[in-house]
Amino acid sequence: MRLLSTVSLMALQLLIPFAAAAATLISVGDGDTLRVEDGGKKIMIRVACIDAPETAQAPYGQQARQALQDLLPIGSTVTLKVQTTDRYGRTVAEVFAENGANAGLTLVQQGHAFAYRQYLKECDEWAYLDREQLAQLYRIGVWMFDGGIERPWDWRAASRGAQRQPTQRPVTLTIINDPKPSADPPPASASGRHWRCREVGS
């Protein structure tokens, strides 16, 4: 009986956070961001320890957003277990629904988000990785394909790289391979290969 009580208490700890604050949900941005109102102040929340597909990663990004909104209806009371503030000024927190369910952990289990390994240390790492493994095992959501879809952090990095690439206009060059130097410029019909800049190695 005592063992059962201990197990029940451990399960309860996964649902009901300590030192948490209540707030009212006013909007859902995407699968891992939302806005709440607390004491008349509007706060942008980044759901801790998960990374949901970006909106442009169709259809998974929209599915993740809808799943989060289903878990946390607009106007409902949510409980925040605040961890830190990120570089964008958002409050990073685990978010709990009115029924006590951990929204981020639920999204991972449903296959709508990945466990964000880089930032798991502030959460129950074992629980997030276990739920992710279950989603992968049953091939749901982002795990419908072997290995899952492109990770959101990789997708963002690739997008940033593409944005940094300058737009280049192709330029045609003529490279003349003439072993004998000549004072006169080669005629237009001189043999040679036409190259484009992108074909010439630096």
- What pLDDT digit, counting tens, does each position of 90-100 carry? 999 999 999 99
E strand residue ranges, the chain: 21-30, 33-38, 41-47, 50-51, 77-85, 91-96, 114-115, 172-175, 193-196
**What is the average pLDDT across 190-198?**
47
Percent of the chain residues past pLDDT 90, beyond the cut: 60
> Mind listing the domains of the chain with CATH numbers?
2-158 (2.40.50.90)
Choosing from 2, 35, 54, 125, the catalytic residue is 54
37 catalytic, yes or no? Answer: no
Choosing from 65, 90, 94, 131, the catalytic residue is 90
Residue 2 has pLDDT above 90, yes or no: no
pLDDT tens digit sequence for 12-59: 444 444 457 889 999 999 999 999 999 889 999 999 999 999 999 999
Q: How confident is the model at residue 64 (pLDDT cuts 50, 70, 90)?
A: very high
pLDDT given for residue 159 in this prediction: 84
Secondary structure of 8-31 in the HEC alphabet?
HHHHHHHHCCCCCEEEEEEEEEEC
46 catalytic, yes or no? Answer: yes
User: Between the CA of residue 9 and those of 3, 32, 45, 105, 138, what are the distances in Å?
Assistant: 10, 28, 28, 18, 28
pLDDT given for residue 10 in this prediction: 41
Residues 6+ apart with CB under 8 A from 152: 51, 52, 53, 54, 57, 114
The 10 Å Cβ neighbour count of residue 62 is 15
Residue 183 has pLDDT above 80, yes or no: no
Helix (H, G, I), strand (E, B) or coil at 172: strand
pLDDT given for residue 162 in this prediction: 64
The 10 Å Cβ neighbour count of residue 138 is 11
Choosing from 46, 65, 94, 131, the catalytic residue is 46
Give the C-alpha separation, 26 to 75, whole Å. Answer: 6
CB contact at 8 A, 13 and 20: no
Burial environment of residue 118 by CB neighbours within 10 A (0 to 12, 13 to 18, 19 or more): exposed
DSSP 8-state class, residue 32: T
pLDDT tens digit sequence for 95-141: 999 999 999 999 999 999 999 998 999 899 999 999 999 999 999 99
Q: What is the mean pLDDT of the chain?
A: 80
117 catalytic, yes or no? Answer: no
Give residue for tokens 């700890």: 13
Q: Which residue has the higher pLDDT, 25 or 6?
A: 25
Measured in degrees and rounded to the nearest 5, phi and psi for residue 148 equal 80, 170
Peptide linkage before 170 cis (omega within 30 of 0): no
Which among 92, 96, 91, 135 is positioned nearest to 113, based on CA atoms? 135
